[in-house]
Amino acid sequence: MYISYADRENSVTEARAKNQESRQNRMRHNFKNLKVWQKAMDLTDMTLIFVRTCRITKDIT
């Protein structure tokens, strides 16, 4: 049985599309509800506040 290059290319393309769709379905959950995301955002906020206060004290001295 002979499979043409175009047929092979189509099957590879279809497999890639299915794989990408599967990956997107797994990533659809809301990551903002994850505790680790929330803690990372809290850390980011605290770091930003710290950096801003450092700039203010540096400008004063």
Handedness of CA 9, 12, 16, 22 (dihedral sign): positive
Q: Identify the band that residue 13 occupies on the pLDDT scale cut at 50, 70 and 90.
A: confident
Buried b (16+ CB within 10 A) or exposed e, 6-29: eeeeeeeeeeeeeeeeeeeeeeee
Q: Indicate the domain borders of the chain.
A: 5-60
pLDDT value at position 32? 73
pLDDT digits (tens, 9 = 90+) for 15-58: 777 777 766 666 666 777 789 989 999 999 999 999 888 876 66
Q: What span, in angstroms and rounded, lies between the C-alpha atoms of 16 and 47?
A: 41
